[in-house]
Structure 1
Amino acid sequence: MLGARRLLGALRLCSSVSCPRPRASAKMRVREALRVQDASGECVTVQFFCYYRELTFGSSVQVQGQLVISQSKRQTVELKAEKIEVIGNCEAKAFPIKYKERHPLEYLRQYPHLRCRTNALGSILRVRSEATAAIHSYFKDSGFVHIHTPVLTSNDCEGAGELFQVEPSSKIKVPEESFFDVPAFLTVSGQLHLEVMSGAFTQVFTFGPTFRAENSQSRRHLAEFYMVEAEISFIESLQDLMQVMEGLFKATTEMVLSHCPEDVELCHQFIASGQKGRLEHMLKNNFLIISYTEAIEILKQASQNFAFTPKWGADLQTEHEKYLVRHCGNIPVFVINYPSELKPFYMRENEDGPQHTVAAVDLLVPGVGELFGGSLREERYHVLEQRLARSGLTKAYQWYLDLRKFGSVPHGGFGMGFERYLQCILGVDNIKDVIPFPRFTHSCLL
């Protein structure tokens, strides 16, 4: 048995009778010829071993022959090969991916240059591609303008200081001079640039790489990852913002399920048993909403012992987030109105007296925890001015104050970690397995 995808696009025959080698313009992909998906679990019997016994697993071949109805219950067709040409031979003994062996994703992670050839990674990366298209489609259909925000920036949007500083590799002739006039960093978020653009366009979004120098080996953090971010003008309530967030999640997921069901099914069957039912449960139910204060009370009353004691004023940890989702019946839950001390300067202050909360929202999902983070932005000039002054950031963010000085409107936005989204819908335990080339602490292979 040789999987259809192992033919590597070299199958030249698409009829039940032998035919001459077609012109380049007549090429047909395997899935088009066989009308099956590459990673559906179906295989095509290729009856050629009597002609070419030296062919090794992993080799690239070009095959001519007859496509006929298969007698096997596991497949619909088989190929009776009449001519075989080896395009690239594979040294089977040294090849780390073994025939008929289901390698763990952890094992495949050692071979970033080869793991994409497996069914598991092939399915994950096809889902990733489809989800990317679905996200763009959702925003386009909703009237958003796509903005290319810069990768190099002088801003630390999150204020956490987890920045990669950028400098030229070659020494500049005059040591006192810098390439830029100010320190430059790899972006941690495109949000502040989107806020600039929201003054010209009502709805904007960006989708690109972001970088965080977090010294973390967790299953949900990367040094380089992709973020989906949106900013919406004339929005005055978290409810309106949460509606967009929930709509993005559900519309994207439904499109992925519609366009590549076999790839999703392979992941649910062989990587995350039970994930299919959990995903259907998320899609058919309205997401829940609780306040940060309510979340802390739920955690305090929990019978579970947490490594981090939950208390008002402390940030929610991953263990807290996962518990809250389980407590809510494994339905995604929005947690809103966080203490202002936990959030960046740009989030809008609530008028709630001594509690001092901001109009912030995180979406927690099963298996992952935090997936989305967003807020209403502080559009009131004098309030923002005071917050920047208290933080010593007035000089660095004078341009941000200008946005409020020159025709500001109420607005808000959010960001979604794309790799965490893929983890959520596919049930992949480690974030390093849903990105083609993962970058994390002590690892930058290729």
Structure 2
Amino acid sequence: MFPAVTRAFLLSSMTPVCRSGVTVRRYCMKNPTKLRVSEAFLDAQVGEKVRIQGWVRSFRPQKQNLFLHVNDGSSLKSLQVIAPAAMNDPLLGFGCAVEVRGILKKSPHSKQPVELEAEQIWVIGECNPVDFPFKIKERHSLEYIRQFLHLRCRTNAFSSLLRIRSEATAAVHSYFKNNGFLLVHTPTITSNDCEGAGELFQVEVGQGISWFWSFFSVPVYLTVSGQLHLEVMSGAFPRVYTFGPTFRAENSQSRRHLAEFFMVEAEISFTESIEDLTKVWKIGSTGFTNCTKQKNLITYTEAIDILKRSSETFTFPTDWGCDLMTEHEKFLVKHCGNIPVFVTDYPHDLKPFYARDNQDHPKHTAAAVDLLVPGVGELSGGSLREERLDLLRSRLGECGLEDTYSWYLDLRRFGSVPHGGFGLGFERYLQCILGVDNIKDVIPFPRFSHSCLL
């Protein structure tokens, strides 16, 4: 391999010249402009000598010419390269990495604005198309390419998903910045269980070592949410958010669960309104509308009534006090016209200790809200936080957590204000806007029970 590649690179204009033991490189030689494939399609460099680097997506040798399509990940479209048949090389083929230099010209074909007339082609990294799991003329399903996590970024489908994921990430940050939110990097390692569900990955040092001999001297876990850390910051900043990985030790291999995923979380101070939270859910240009204006903000009680009136068969009774399952969430979205729906005022006992008590006995609800969307079900969940010290202390006492969360009580003792927040699952958001059925296909390296490849 290496002799062939080295031979291809021996150009007189690039070869170092050795004189009296001193190596002289000809930096004065003008190199062709390096372009990304996406830049080549802008036509700005037409007629000029350029060079591109990328991977061969198709290779068609003919009697007089070679036709290659080269892609570098910057665009879904590949750049067509035309070269004399004399430039053919045994290493040149589908999947290999190349550098091509030549003249960028207008294409006579309507399907492509430009093409590259090659003067030199180097194979940087060879690829055996017989062994390569993706074939040149086959359309591969997402389920098939998921078997090759280390190679699936080479496919058009998954590379497009990654570009969209990148743009969506930038849009989220842009939205929060433009709306006055402060970005806070919350910790990945934490000593609290924010959700209270016990689905935690515990961090240990070494094997078989008791927690009190561990590195931190207290039990620590991978975070399930950055919410409590944002609540700390909301005591000094009116609007804060975080965007990072979270971890849930759920023994699930469903199409909507991961052990590691990304969460967008925000906290807003000086608010006593669920509607203030739902307005913030209009993130970037997601296409979601403010459902409160469309009167799709329904209470938990109304949701139960809708389910009871339906002819759907569910796996458990939809009575007051029972949580909503995925099938219920999807039915409610369908019932409301297949648009995003906010469900509010859940039974108080279903929500964690920090959810604000509505004190509406006998129903006894919490000021909590979930966003349900088509195809996915629950996309986001949030609540107003309990800022009243006496009620919060009573709730923590009932749960036996008053000593553990003494610092949380301090937040209420020293300048507390009414506040609330939410967390949005980024992968579920991508599932929703892209119509992707399986959450494992919208994250580069999915982690779930019994699977942690790479």
TM-score by length of structure 1 reads: 0.84
1:444 aligns with 452
Aligned 8 A contact 2:212 2:218 in 1: no
Spell out the pairing of 1:332-411 with structure 2 (5 A cutoff).
332-411=340-419
1:7 aligns with none
Number of equivalences: 395
Answer with 1 or 2: which has the greater Rg: 2
Query: Match for 2:80 among 29, 33, 45?
Result: 45
1:418 aligns with 426
Offset of residue 66 of structure 1: 2.9
Point out the more displaced range, 337-346 or 39-48.
39-48
**1:150-189: CA deviation from partner (whole Å, max 9, x where unpaired):** 11111000000000000113787x9962211210000000
Aligned 8 A contact 2:94 2:127 in 1: yes
User: 1:39/1:284 Cα in 2 relative to 1: closer, same or farther (>3 Å)?
Assistant: farther
Aligned 8 A contact 2:183 2:240 in 1: yes
RMSD: 2.2
Secondary structure at the counterpart of residue 324 of structure 2: coil
State the alpha-carbon separation in 2 of the partners of residues 27 and 40 from structure 1.
Answer: 16
1:431 aligns with 439
2:268 aligns with 232
Spell out the pairing of 1:193-342 with structure 2 (5 A cutoff).
193-245=229-281, 247-248=282-283, 251-253=284-286, 282-283=288-289, 286=293, 288-342=296-350
Aligned 8 A contact 1:60 1:86 in 2: yes
Offset of residue 82 of structure 1: 2.5
Q: Which runs of 5+ in 1 are unaligned?
A: 1-19, 254-278
Secondary structure at the counterpart of residue 157 of structure 2: helix
Q: Match of 1:244, as an amino acid?
A: V
Q: Does 2:220 match 1:184? A: yes
Secondary structure at the counterpart of residue 99 of structure 1: coil
Point out the more displaced range, 228-237 or 41-50.
41-50
**1:404-443: CA deviation from partner (whole Å, max 9, x where unpaired):** 1111110000000000011111111111111111100111
More helix by share: 1
Query: Match for 1:93 among 116, 130, 133?
Result: 130
More strand by share: 2
State the alpha-carbon separation in 2 of the partners of residues 236 and 49 from structure 1.
Answer: 71
User: 1:98/1:355 Cα in 2 relative to 1: closer, same or farther (>3 Å)?
Assistant: same
State the alpha-carbon separation in 2 of the partners of residues 176 and 155 from structure 1.
Answer: 16
Q: Does 2:200 match 1:163? A: yes
User: 1:283/1:81 Cα in 2 relative to 1: closer, same or farther (>3 Å)?
Assistant: farther
Secondary structure at the counterpart of residue 445 of structure 1: coil
Aligned 8 A contact 2:279 2:290 in 1: no
Secondary structure at the counterpart of residue 188 of structure 1: coil
Aligned 8 A contact 1:68 1:79 in 2: yes
1:31 aligns with 38
Percent identity reads 65
Q: Which runs of 5+ in 2 are unaligned?
A: 1-27, 44-70
User: 1:297/1:21 Cα in 2 relative to 1: closer, same or farther (>3 Å)?
Assistant: farther
User: 1:176/1:421 Cα in 2 relative to 1: closer, same or farther (>3 Å)?
Assistant: closer
**1:10-38: CA deviation from partner (whole Å, max 9, x where unpaired):** xxxxxxxxxx99538x4221111123996
Secondary structure at the counterpart of residue 74 of structure 1: coil
State the alpha-carbon separation in 1 of the partners of residues 163 and 36 from structure 2.
Answer: 16
Point out the more displaced range, 415-424 or 35-44.
35-44
**1:125-162: CA deviation from partner (whole Å, max 9, x where unpaired):** 11111111111111111111111111111100000000
State the alpha-carbon separation in 2 of the partners of residues 210 and 100 from structure 1.
Answer: 39
